Structure 1
Amino acid sequence: MSTETTPTPAGTAPEKLDRGVLVVAGVVVLGAIMSILDITVVSVALQTFQREFDATPAQVAWTMTGYTLALAAVIPLTGWAADRFGTKRLYLLAIVLFAAGSALCALATSLPMLVTFRVLQGLGGGMLMPLGMTILTRAAGPERVGRVMAVLGIPMLLGPIFGPILGGWLIDAASWHWIFLINVPIGVAALTYAAIVLPRDHVEPSETFDWLGMVLLSPGLALFLYGISTIPETGTFFATKVLVPALVGAVLIVSFVPWALHRRNRHPLIDLRLFQNRNMTIAVVAMSLFAVAFFGAGLLFPLYFQMVRHEDALHAGVLLAPQGFGAMITMPIAGVLADRIGPGKIVMTGIAVITVGMAMFATLTDTTSYAFLLGSLFVMGLGMGGTMMPIMSAALATLRDHTIARGSTLMNIVQQVAASIGTAVFTVLLTNGLQDAVPTPAGQAAVFGDVFLVAAVLVALVLVPAFFLPRRKLAHQVDPAVMVGH
């Protein structure tokens, strides 16, 4: 088998992650840190790009949008490519693409060049996360999937917290080029580490490639996300610039569904037959709602500190740190408990805690004490540590072999699309609210409070699908329906 150890039969897996799994986890975490840090580090450099390239906010936003669209386009290909070429080879290629894209970004002399090289970065970055999830899940076996998801969740949570801090410091201490150059030595280390540690691939005879699926799904996702990401610029969904690409993308995505389920299509680009697995379906619904609410609202926190409390980018990033510390406390505990008693109770508890923290932010004013704000962020971090990775565990724990690669690819697409939709929705809510508000700190704070209330309600809605997640130790076997077509 490639890159995986043979899973131990149910009930006999060791309680703790052994050294071999932890070594593999180190490779995956290093790759995830590169990918996730880069997204958040660049977010604090947008004003710098405006000055350097004499560009408008809408133009420099393409440095973020181009990366996101590349992610959306390449993620669907990852499951097939992992089966065809092996996870180790593909992971090494993803690291090379990402590091090379980073080096070229640092050398860019114009905004179009920078956007082009960000797309190259995104092609590598889009493969790192689903491949990492596949490698870890196979290495640990299904009984310990909660623990390995907790390990992988660390960079996913800490990236958004410490990325702005690192980005602000690099820009102030050196120049914007260093937010990209820093990825090069990390990439070299990750490439060397992965080449040594990951076992050789033993690829089975290749599946046929779903060309029609690629023509429908990859451009469909890219067009749909392009339209959605343009909403903040236009202020409305009904602008032609938003509506046309979003609708064309939606039509392509919808057209992919019957083709993916057709009995003649034995190896679809994204295996929608996985939805015949009840746990996967519920986890996808829960992840969709959660990503819209939590990641969408995530952009509000630094904006509040910068716009209402007049903090600079570096200090706004520092003030978000309690959220990461809270997650660090609960995430390892949640991983163990999800394996032992099932993810359902853990996720419901985490969602309830996040809702409390978000509701606390809904009461803020322009003079709310920093102790209250930091305490609210800490509470949300505690809940976050018990939410996202247990949802992932519920989705992947009953899968086997190459269905793991397909399942992790599906979950990453869902998360990426939902987070993009959430970001657009909350940006529009905030922008429209601020246009109608009294232009004072108190007026602006009131708008933020209203939008945080919406976020709290949306987070609370995740309790509905979370209620149906497994609330006892998962029986680690594949639903036969999952294997249809393989």
Structure 2
Amino acid sequence: MNDPRSDPGSDPITQRALLWIVASGFFMQTLDTTIVNTALPAMARSLGEPVLNMHPVVVAYTLTMASLTPASGWLADRFGTRRMYFAAILLFVVGSILCAVAPTLPMLLAARVVQGLGGSMLLPVGRLAVLRAVPGAQYIAALASISIAGQLGPVVGPVLGGWLVQSLSWHWIFLINVPIGVVGMAAVLRFLPDDSLADTPRFDLLGCALLSACMVAFSLALDVPFDTQRGAWSAALFLLAAATVLGYWWHARGHARPLFRLGLFGEPNFSIGLAGNLVCRIGSSAVPFLLPLLLQVRLGYSPLHAGMLLLPAAIAGTIAKPWIAPLVKRHGYDRFLLVNTAIVGVSIVSFALITPDWPVVAAIVQLAVFGASNSMQFAAMNSVTLKGLRKDDAGSGNSLFSMVQMLAIGLGVTIGGTMVSAFKSPEGVATNASFQITFVIVGVITLVSAWVFRRMDPRYFK
């Protein structure tokens, strides 16, 4: 009798199990990007750190994910989706345990890097496993079912994080991953096939290292206080980021199979779409970090109350997803992106109005408008950026696009945290004005992306 793992696509039970495994991994990944934000003030008190110093906890995770995402596909081909997905969950679980027991902020950051190593492979390797196991006619439906798990993460994350912090401790936002991961690893060994490829081309390790160094250097360059002592350090990091970009350009010109071929950036609208995505997502990514801090540090909300107040944005975003296709069909990508980007930017700026005297109903409306417009913005930006790629560039283009998405999350949190720190009181405390000025700045950054999208060629919107 044949091992059912040898052909998982032919066994409906195995196929359903595979979808559950990948969906659970995607849920863990998206949950972790949102659950931590609500717990940052509690973490700061426990570790004896100022709350404004906690944003690297988010940035370390997202930058690690961005750096390792391009390697995930090659690793899955070389060692098989079964081995790599097991390794991804194992690293994620080990990183989660290390986060929970970390006694200091530097050790917590190191643990988040380990967690990010696993998280960088959860979705790409899982998606590849589904692609290889599920028949083509069922593939779209399979991806749709997996995406539901990804949508649940941002909805559940803030509330679950607030409840765990308030009822138990912040350590449980990481420990909750352990039982899910243990079950997932057992299921991987039972259901996923060993599908490594014998002839795997060499991976462009140097190209990946250069781009990763660029992202890390650029992010660290922005994460410095506005003083003369560290200005030179920031300038040196910016120069390093520029040097690594030039180094990659020189490297890719002479490499037979570079990580991302230079011709990819000559595709219609792709480069502009990447730039627009990066700029727009900086503001959007700062909001989930800034709002829980504002609600807890300045408005005195409990972690659970703060998490619940963020629900309207997540729910509205889920409800609005079906609206994107008819709106784009009616108004076109160019007009839709111009108007919707303005709505996203203005809604972020409007968060500056939230003070202790601001009506809760008004805040809920603001969050719902932001959540709905932001959800549609992501869908439209994703589509228009990748729309013009040739078939043989789709894989690498999507991989680069995923890197930019993760980079934008890290930059948004870095810029948001740096701005709040820059405008804190002389006593080192974040004031209402600190948050108000920061929301205006990140909202204006988002509005700038409307100008970037205006530079796209409308002939390729059809």
**Normalised TM-score (structure 2):** 0.79
Quote the offset at 1:148 in angstroms. Answer: 8.4
**More helix, by proportion:** 2
Quote the offset at 1:378 in angstroms. Answer: 0.2
Per-residue Cα deviation, 1:392-414 (whole angstroms, up to 9, x for no partner):
23344555777444223211221
Q: 1:344 to 1:366 in 2, by over 3 A?
A: same
Q: 1:137 to 1:237 in 2, by over 3 A?
A: farther
Structure 1 equivalent of residue 172 of structure 2 = 178
Unpaired runs of 5+ residues, structure 2, are 1-5
Per-residue Cα deviation, 1:48-103 (whole angstroms, up to 9, x for no partner):
44454445657765544443443243234234334544555433332222123223
Cα separation, 2, equivalents of 1:463 and 1:4 = 45
Quote the offset at 1:375 in angstroms. Answer: 0.2
Quote the offset at 1:303 in angstroms. Answer: 2.8
Q: Which moved more, 1:117-126 or 1:86-95?
A: 86-95
Q: CA-atom RMSD, angstroms?
A: 4.4
Cα separation, 2, equivalents of 1:431 and 1:131 = 38
Which of 211, 216, 238 is matched with 2:210 structurally? 216
Per-residue Cα deviation, 1:315-359 (whole angstroms, up to 9, x for no partner):
112111100011010114436877999765654454243234334
8 Å contact kept, 1:129–1:412: no
Cα separation, 2, equivalents of 1:55 and 1:36 = 26
Q: Aligned AA for 2:111?
A: F
Structure 1 equivalent of residue 247 of structure 2 = 255
Per-residue Cα deviation, 1:143-164 (whole angstroms, up to 9, x for no partner):
x98x988776666665455423
Structure 2 equivalent of residue 391 of structure 1 = 381
8 Å contact kept, 1:67–1:121: yes
Q: Secondary structure of the residue that 1:220 maps to in structure 2? A: helix
Cα separation, 1, equivalents of 2:161 and 2:286 = 21
Q: 1:391 to 1:236 in 2, by over 3 A?
A: farther
Cα separation, 2, equivalents of 1:450 and 1:49 = 25
- For 1:15-94, list aligned pairs within 5 A: 27-55=21-49, 63-87=57-81, 89-94=83-88
Unpaired runs of 5+ residues, structure 1, are 6-18, 476-486
8 Å contact kept, 2:38–2:293: no
Q: 1:58 to 1:426 in 2, by over 3 A?
A: closer
8 Å contact kept, 1:339–1:474: no
Cα separation, 2, equivalents of 1:26 and 1:432 = 45
Quote the offset at 1:377 in angstroms. Answer: 0.6
Q: 1:128 to 1:340 in 2, by over 3 A?
A: farther
Q: Secondary structure of the residue that 2:258 maps to in structure 1? A: coil
Structure 2 equivalent of residue 8 of structure 1 = none
Q: Secondary structure of the residue that 1:299 maps to in structure 2? A: helix
Q: Secondary structure of the residue that 1:322 maps to in structure 2? A: helix
Structure 2 equivalent of residue 464 of structure 1 = 451
Quote the offset at 1:166 in angstroms. Answer: 1.7
Cα separation, 2, equivalents of 1:136 and 1:339 = 30
Which of 317, 323, 344 is matched with 1:327 structurally? 317
Quote the offset at 1:196 in angstroms. Answer: 6.4
Quote the offset at 1:245 in angstroms. Answer: 3.7
Quote the offset at 1:252 in angstroms. Answer: 1.9
- For 1:439-450, list aligned pairs within 5 A: 444-446=431-433, 448-450=435-437
Which of 290, 295, 302 is matched with 2:292 structurally? 302
Q: 1:296 to 1:23 in 2, by over 3 A?
A: same
Q: Secondary structure of the residue that 1:386 maps to in structure 2? A: helix
Which of 260, 263, 278 is matched with 1:270 structurally? 260
- For 1:207-246, list aligned pairs within 5 A: 207-228=201-222, 230-231=223-224, 238-246=230-238
Q: 1:71 to 1:198 in 2, by over 3 A?
A: same
Q: Does residue 454 of the first structure (1) align with residue 444 of the second (2)?
A: no
**Normalised TM-score (structure 1):** 0.76
Count of aligned positions: 453
Q: Aligned AA for 1:74?
A: L
Q: 1:111 to 1:202 in 2, by over 3 A?
A: closer
8 Å contact kept, 1:434–1:447: yes
- For 1:187-226, list aligned pairs within 5 A: 187-191=181-185, 201=195, 203=197, 205-226=199-220
Quote the offset at 1:184 in angstroms. Answer: 1.6
Quote the offset at 1:369 in angstroms. Answer: 1.1
Q: Aligned AA for 1:460?
A: L
8 Å contact kept, 1:4–1:135: no
Q: Aligned AA for 1:42?
A: V
Cα separation, 2, equivalents of 1:169 and 1:114 = 21
Q: Aligned AA for 1:280?
A: F
Which of 426, 430, 442 is matched with 2:420 structurally? 430
Q: 1:344 to 1:3 in 2, by over 3 A?
A: farther
Q: 1:436 to 1:162 in 2, by over 3 A?
A: farther
